[in-house]
Amino acid sequence: MHTPAFLGSSNLILDRRKFMGVAAGLIAAGVLPKHALALAAPYTFKQGSFDVTVVSDGTIMLPLSVVSPEAKPEELAALLGAQVQGDKAQFEVSPLLLKSGSDVILIDTGGGGAMAPTAGKLADSLKAAGTEPGAITKVIYTHAHPDHLWGTIGGDGKSTFANASFHVAEAEWNFWVAEDLVSKTPKDMQGMVKGIQGQLAAIKEKVTMFKPGSELVSGLNVIDTAGHTPGHVSFELAGGDGLIITGDAITNATVFFAHPDWKFGFDADHAGAAANRKKLLDMAASGKKKMLGYHWPYPGLGMAEAKDGAYVYVPAA
Ligand SMILES: [Zn+2]
> Domain extents for the chain?
5-315
Sheet with 310-315, strands from edge to edge, namely 215-217, 220-224, 233-237, 243-245, 290-292, 301-307, 310-315
As assigned by CATH, the class of the 5-315 domain is: alpha beta
Average pLDDT over residues 268-273: 97
33 Cα: distance to centroid of ligand 1 (angstroms) = 22
Average pLDDT over residues 86-99: 96
Q: State residue 155's pLDDT score.
A: 85
Which ranges constitute the DSSP H helices of 170-268?
170-177, 181-184, 187-203, 253-258
Closest CA to 113 of 73, 149, 81, 145: 149
Supply the Cα-derived Rg of the chain in whole angstroms. Answer: 18
Q: State residue 317's pLDDT score.
A: 84
Check whether 164 has a pLDDT greater than 80.
yes
Rounded Cα–Cα distance for residues 229 and 143 (Å): 7
Q: Model confidence over 52-85: pLDDT tens digits?
A: 999 999 999 999 999 999 899 899 999 999 999 9
112 Cα: distance to centroid of ligand 1 (angstroms) = 13
Rounded Cα–Cα distance for residues 267 and 15 (Å): 31
Q: State residue 23's pLDDT score.
A: 58
Check whether 316 has a pLDDT greater than 60.
yes
Contact assessment for residue 114 and residue 96, using Cβ atoms and an 8 Å cutoff: no
Q: How confident is the model at residue 38 (pLDDT cuts 50, 70, 90)?
A: confident
Check whether 241 has a pLDDT greater than 80.
yes
pTM of the model: 0.89
294 Cα: distance to centroid of ligand 1 (angstroms) = 7
84 alpha-carbon distance from chain centroid: 19
To which H or E segment does residue 43 belong? Answer: strand 43-47
177 Cα: distance to centroid of ligand 1 (angstroms) = 19
Q: State residue 4's pLDDT score.
A: 42
313 Cα: distance to centroid of ligand 1 (angstroms) = 19
Residue 128 gets the label, from left (phi > 0), alpha (psi -120 to 50) or beta, of alpha
Rounded Cα–Cα distance for residues 5 and 7 (Å): 5
266 Cα: distance to centroid of ligand 1 (angstroms) = 9
Average pLDDT over residues 151-174: 95
